[in-house]
């Protein structure tokens, strides 16, 4: 029998029965509580004029129902769940009959004490309006807890809160606490290896500097060394390491960033030898992504990439997991702490992978819905800062943030654009690429990058004014290859031609097939670019021109054609509506029965 905890004296049997039904509610993982459950809870509470609390686990099941003061109720499932630095995985939602939903000091104290995922109070106002207030822990270290308090808000707003996203902002701190972060205005040295041309290492370190600045650091010096390959122990030679030790002091640097991904061993050795924070290019890029991720999906993807990066590096000096105390009951005899940490991160990785997979399926559904509209999908790809978002804005007035910063865009945006012949197409702007893009990130961003993989045509935006545009182009192709999107048709848009002084240089660029010079900023060349997209659609038989005769009882089809195809001419005749139209390939079969004559 479902137990009702707390003081149930004087409560009628019929009410107890209603209380028991609270155990039967099931809610999805993303919800804090559902409307029905909240309403039933409050209606019983208002009826008996006592507090009622329900406790839910992360699977969305009600694990306990209690009547009365929540602090006096001993709950079996909470015993032993409260790990030292962890949340309990249980949230408490209770009522405040006849008073405001504002959380009391005692509510907050029990949140601190029990390490609930969240505590919320609901109350019915004078006009029957339901309010909610809630609080959750944002940081637990030893005995210190930081709490975030919200409310009162109306019930609708409370119900709409994405619980998984909320937890993500809190619970992952534990796993990510050991990720090296860059603080604002930290002084950094940069170091790299010159394998080919001096010019290349300079450009590469310039880019690393831009990345470091984007992350908030100030670059105080750069060093590099000519080598065929990195030293397996220190990445650079011993002499260079001594030089860096000296530089570190004179420049007062508190971290050093290496231009390649370091092996866990190299990283440990360097930390020991240099005595400052050691980062590599991958960790730096991950840190920028972590700072910039806004959407739930973006945050999940970055967290996944960071954990995968951290896993083999656990136990490194800078990454000692001393604060990650194992939860009570998780520590078996003879197990080392490191193993526990590894296991915990692995299970966390599995959880996030599952959540991302769910999102990917949602994305696929959205995309299928769009494909049903049978519009041509074009994806903007290119090196970070090439001007993709600016171009999307120029093409569609999308209002996407464009900035002179690396990785300004992480989440894809899809908008409609209109070709010169009047037909609508879909254009997607997405995350920019970079050389040595961490493979953990490509893997983690697969769901997002699927927009590129599934598009009909790519517009490759190149910053033609950048001295390293050729290397950037190579890097873009490499990522496209990794995504298996390198065989897609491409139009190259050489952007920022307003900043190119030499007409000769532009002319040389445009010798490339299917290329166009544009300025996304001034709008120059944009019309020509759209023209090229349209020509591509025609010449590749993605579209065919047809003359149709629609019977008057099917005149609804005309609206569909206006929306999804390029309608050139419409004539209302006695026998029906004559339409000359360019049909996307996918629509041709459907309209076959109405065809008068085609262009073939
Ligand atoms: N001079 C000039 N600057 C441009 C042009 N197009 C874009 N920019 C500038 O280049 C910078 C980067 O532009 P974004 O549109 O954010 O570049 P992005 O490719 O979306 O970059 P990420 O999202 O970081 O990958 C901004 O400062 C833009 O103003 C152009 O045609 N001419
Ligand atoms: Mg962008």
Q: Going residue by residue through the chain (600 aa), what tens digit of pLDDT does each one get?
A: 578 888 888 899 999 999 999 999 988 888 899 999 999 999 999 999 999 999 998 888 998 899 987 665 556 556 555 455 667 888 999 999 988 899 988 888 888 888 888 999 999 988 888 999 999 887 766 566 778 888 899 998 899 888 877 776 665 554 554 556 677 788 999 999 998 777 788 999 999 999 999 888 999 999 999 998 999 999 999 999 999 999 999 999 989 999 999 998 999 899 889 988 899 999 999 888 887 777 777 878 888 888 888 888 876 433 333 333 333 333 333 456 677 777 877 887 888 888 888 878 877 887 777 666 667 889 999 999 999 999 999 998 766 667 777 777 777 888 888 888 888 888 999 889 998 888 888 887 877 788 888 898 999 999 999 998 998 999 999 999 988 888 889 999 999 999 998 888 889 999 988 999 999 999 999 999 999 999 888 887 677 888 999 999 888 888 888 877 778 889 999 999 999 888 877 778 888 889 886 544
Following DSSP, what letter does each residue of 480-534 receive, concatenated?
A: HHHTT-TTS-EEEEEE-GGG---HHHHHHHTTSTTEEE--TTT-TTHHHHHHHHH
Ligand 1 pocket, 432 CB below 6 A? yes
Q: What is the pLDDT of residue 321?
A: 33
Q: What are phi and psi of 508, to 5 degrees?
A: -65, -45
Q: How far is the CA of 186 from the centre of ligand 2 (A)?
A: 26
Distance 520 CA to ligand 1 centre (A): 8
Distance CA 110, CA 301 (A): 33
CA-proximal residue: ligand 1, atom 24 (nearest): 407
User: How many A from CA of 387 to the centre of ligand 1?
Assistant: 3
Q: Which ligand is nearest to the CA of 214?
A: 1
Q: Going by C-beta distance under 8 Å and a sequence separation of 6 or more, which residues neighbour residue 12?
A: none
Domain range 543-598, its CATH number among 3.30.70.240, 3.30.590.10, 3.20.20.70, 2.60.120.200:
3.30.70.240
Q: How far is the CA of 375 from the centre of ligand 1 (A)?
A: 27
How far from 62 is each of 7, 34, 86, 152, CA to CA, in Å?
19, 12, 21, 24
Q: Among the atoms of ligand 1, which is closest to the Cα of residue 386? A: 19
Tokens of 203: 């450009």
- Ligand 1, atom nearest to 382 Cα: 19
**What number does the ligand 1 atom closest to the CA of 522 have?**
31
- Rounded to the nearest angstrom, the distance between the alpha carbon of 455 and the centre of ligand 2 is 18
- Of 444, 445, 409, the C-alpha closest to 428 is 409
Q: Is 521 in the pocket of ligand 1 (CB under 6 A)?
A: yes
Distance CA 262, CA 245 (A): 18
Query: Do 29 and 163 contact (CB within 8 A), yes or no?
Result: yes
Instruction: List the one residue out of 539, 580, 589, 541 whose CA is nearest residue 562.
Output: 580
Of 382, 384, 389, the residue with max ligand 1 atoms within 8 A of its CB, to mutate for a pocket test, comes to: 389
Ligand 1 contact, 408 CB (< 6 A)? yes
Q: Look at residues 101, 120, 10 and name the one whose alpha carbon lies nearest to residue 54.
A: 120
Q: What is the pTM of this model?
A: 0.67
Query: Do residues 531 and 493 lie in contact, with contact meaning Cβ atoms separated by under 8 Å?
Result: no
Structure tokens at 341: 């940490």
What is the DSSP secondary structure assignment for residue 124, as one 8-state letter?
E
For the CA of 433, the closest atom of ligand 1 is: 25
Measured between alpha carbons, how far is 166 from 431 in angstroms, rounded to an integer? 24
DSSP assignment of 457-469 equals: EEEEEEETTSTTH
- What is the spatial distance between Cα 482 and Cα 479, in angstroms, rounded to a whole number? 5
CB-ligand 1 contact for 427 (6 Å cutoff) = no
Structurally, what CATH architecture does the domain formed by 375-539 represent? 3-Layer(aba) Sandwich (3.40)
Chain centroid to CA 293: how far?
5
ipTM for the whole complex? 0.99
Is residue 388 lining ligand 1, measured as CB closer than 6 Å? yes
Q: Does residue 386 line the site of ligand 1, with CB under 6 A?
A: yes
- Whether ligand 1 lies within 6 angstroms of the CB of 500 is answered as no
Residue 283 Cα distances to 2, 269, 289, 408, 479, angstroms: 50, 17, 10, 18, 18
Instruction: Measure the N-to-C terminal CA separation of the chain; round to a whole number of Å.
Output: 75
| The pLDDT value given to residue 463 | 97
The Cα–Cα gap between 131 and 154 comes to 5
Question: At CB < 8 A and 24+ separation, what contacts does 169-173 make?
Answer: 169/138, 169/299, 170/87, 170/117, 170/136, 170/137, 170/138, 170/139, 171/86, 171/87, 171/117, 172/303, 172/348, 173/138, 173/139
Distance, in Å, from the CA atom of 585 to the CA atom of 374, rounded to the nearest integer, reads 9
CA distance linking residue 160 with residue 193, whole number of Å: 51
Q: Which atom from ligand 1 is nearest to the alpha carbon of 410? A: 23
358 alpha carbon to ligand 2 midpoint, in Å?
Answer: 25
Q: Which ligand is in closest contact with the Cα of 434? A: 1
Neighbours of ion ligand 2 (CB under 5 A): 388-389, 408-409
Ligand 1 contact via 305 beta carbon (within 6 Å):
no
What's the chain's length in residues? 600
The DSSP bridge partners found for residue 515 are 492
Q: Where are the alpha helices (DSSP H) in 142-237?
A: 155-160, 163-176, 198-215
* 496 Cβ below 6 A of ligand 1: yes
Judge if the beta carbon of residue 88 lies within 6 A of ligand 1: no
What CATH code would you report for 187-288? Answer: 3.40.50.11060
């Amino acid at each position: 029998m479902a137990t009702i905890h707390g003081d149930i004296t004087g409560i009628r049997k019929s009410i107890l029965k209603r209380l028991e039904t609270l155990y039967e509610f099931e809610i999805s993982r993303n919800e804090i509580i559902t409307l029905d459950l909240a309403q039933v809870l409050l209606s019983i509470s208002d009826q008996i004029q006592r507090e009622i609390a329900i406790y839910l686990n992360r699977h969305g099941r009600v694990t306990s129902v209690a009547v009365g003061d929540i602090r006096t109720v001993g709950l079996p499932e909470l015993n032993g769940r409260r790990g030292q630095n962890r949340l309990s995985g249980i949230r408490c939602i209770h009522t405040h009959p006849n008073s405001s939903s504002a959380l009391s000091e005692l509510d907050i104290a029990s949140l601190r004490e029990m390490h609930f995922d969240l505590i919320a109070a609901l109350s019915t106002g004078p006009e029957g309006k339901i309010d909610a207030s809630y609080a959750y822990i944002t940081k637990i270290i030893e005995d210190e807890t930081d709490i975030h308090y919200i409310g009162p808000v109306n019930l609708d707003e409370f119900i709409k809160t994405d619980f998984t996203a909320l937890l993500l902002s809190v619970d992952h701190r534990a796993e990510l606490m050991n990720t090296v972060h860059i603080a604002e205005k930290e002084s950094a040295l940069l170091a790299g290896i010159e394998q080919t041309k001096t010019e290349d290492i300079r450009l590469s370190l310039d880019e690393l500097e831009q990345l470091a600045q984007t992350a908030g650091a100030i670059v105080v010096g750069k060093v590099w060394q000519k080598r065929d390959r990195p030293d397996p122990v220190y990445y650079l030679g011993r002499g260079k390491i001594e030089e860096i030790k000296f530089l570190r002091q004179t420049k007062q640097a508190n971290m050093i960033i290496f231009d390649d991904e370091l092996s866990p061993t190299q990283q440990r050795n360097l930390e020991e030898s240099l005595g400052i924070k050691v980062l590599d290019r991958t960790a730096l890029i991950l840190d920028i992504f972590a700072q910039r991720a806004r959407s739930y999906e973006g945050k999940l993807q970055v967290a996944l990439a960071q954990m995968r990066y951290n896993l083999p590096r656990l136990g490194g000096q800078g990454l000692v997991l001393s604060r990650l105390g194992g939860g009570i009951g998780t520590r078996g005899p003879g197990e080392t702490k490191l193993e526990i940490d590894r296991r915990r991160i692995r299970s966390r990785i599995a959880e996030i992978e599952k959540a991302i997979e769910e999102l990917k399926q949602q994305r696929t559904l959205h995309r299928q819905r769009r494909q049903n509209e049978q519009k041509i999908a074009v994806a903007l790809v290119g090196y970070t800062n090439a001007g993709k978002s600016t171009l999307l804005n120029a093409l569609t007035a999308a209002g996407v943030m464009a900035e002179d910063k690396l990785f300004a865009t992480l989440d894809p945006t899809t908008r409609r654009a209109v070709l010169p012949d009047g037909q609508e197409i879909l254009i997607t702007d997405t995350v920019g690429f970079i050389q040595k893009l961490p493979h953990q990130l490509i893997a983690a961003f697969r769901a997002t990058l699927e927009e590129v993989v599934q598009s009909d045509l790519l517009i490759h935006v190149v910053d033609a004014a950048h001295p390293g545009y050729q290397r950037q182009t190579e890097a873009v192709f490499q990522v496209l290859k990794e995504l298996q999107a390198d065989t897609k048709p491409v139009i190259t848009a050489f952007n920022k031609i307003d900043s190119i002084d030499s007409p000769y240089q532009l002319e040389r660029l445009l010798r490339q097939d299917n290329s166009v010079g544009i300025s996304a900023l001034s709008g120059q060349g944009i019309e020509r670019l759209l023209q090229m997209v349209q020509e591509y659609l025609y010449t590749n038989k993605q579209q065919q021109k047809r003359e149709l005769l629609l019977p008057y009882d099917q005149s609804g089809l005309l609206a569909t054609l206006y929306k999804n195809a390029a309608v050139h001419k419409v004539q209302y005749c006695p026998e029906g509506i004559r339409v000359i139209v360019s049909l996307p390939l996918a629509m041709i079969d459907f309209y076959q029965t109405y065809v008068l004559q085609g262009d073939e």
